[in-house]
Amino acid sequence: MNGYSAPVRDMRFVITELMDFAALKALPGFEEVSEDMVDAILAEAQRFSGQELAPLNVIGDREGAVWEDGEVRVPQGFIDAYRKFVEGGWNGVSSDPAFGGMGLPQLLAAATQEMWQSANMAWALCPLLTAGAVQALTLHGSEEQKALYLPKLVSGEWTGTMNLTEPQAGSDLSVVRTRAVPEGDHYRISGQKIFITWGEHRMAENIIHLVLARTPDAPEGVKGISLFIVPKFLLDENGNPGQRNDLRCVSIEHKLGIHGSPTCTMAFGDAGGAIGYLVGEEGRGLEYMFTMMNEARHKVGIQGLAIAERAYQQARAYARERVQGRPAGYPGGGRGPIIHHPDVRRMLLTMRAAIEAMRGLAYQAAAHFDFAHRHPDVDVRRAHQARADLLIPVVKGWCTELGVEMASIGVQVHGGMGFIEETGAAQHLRDARIAPIYEGTNGIQANDLVGRKVLRDRGEAMQGLLAELDGIAGNASNALQAPLREAIAQLRQATDWLLEHGAADPAAAQANSHHYLMLTGYIIGGALMARAATIADTALESGSDDVFYHNKIALARFYMQQLLPRAQAHAAAVLAGADAVLELDVEQF
Q: Which residues are known to be catalytic?
A: 439
Nearest to 109, CA basis, from 370, 459, 383, 330: 370
- Per-residue HEC secondary structure of 297-338 comes to HHHHHHHHHHHHHHHHHHHHHHHHHCECCCCCCCCCCCCCEH
DSSP character at residue 388: H
Strand partners of residue 228: 211, 278
Q: Alpha carbon of 294 to those of 131, 326, 400, 505: distances in Å?
A: 11, 50, 15, 27
Instruction: Report the alpha-carbon distance of residue 276 to residue 279 in Å, rounded.
Output: 9
Instruction: Report the alpha-carbon distance of residue 527 to residue 516 in Å, rounded.
Output: 17
Instruction: Report the alpha-carbon distance of residue 350 to residue 315 in Å, rounded.
Output: 12
Instruction: Report the alpha-carbon distance of residue 216 to residue 183 in Å, rounded.
Output: 12
Question: Are the C-beta atoms of residues 341 and 327 closer than 8 Å to each other?
Answer: yes
Instruction: Report the alpha-carbon distance of residue 299 to residue 399 in Å, rounded.
Output: 10
Beta strands in 164-286 (DSSP E): 179-183, 186-197, 206-214, 225-231, 233-235, 241-244, 247-252, 263-268, 274-278
Residue 204's identity, in one-letter code, is A
- Distance between first and last Cα of the chain: 43
Give the DSSP H/E element, type plus range, for residue 160.
Answer: strand 158-163
Question: Are the C-beta atoms of residues 86 and 155 closer than 8 Å to each other?
Answer: yes
Q: Alpha carbon of 149 to those of 107, 161, 229, 242: distances in Å?
A: 25, 13, 10, 14
Neighbours of 321 (CB within 10 A): 11
Give the DSSP H/E element, type plus range, for residue 358.
Answer: helix 342-374
Residue 211's identity, in one-letter code, is V
Nearest to 450, CA basis, from 484, 494, 486, 487: 494
- The sign of the torsion formed by the CA atoms of 226, 232, 237, 239 equals negative
User: SS3 for 211?
Assistant: strand
Instruction: Report the alpha-carbon distance of residue 78 to residue 60 in Å, rounded.
Output: 8
Question: Are the C-beta atoms of residues 529 and 556 closer than 8 Å to each other?
Answer: yes
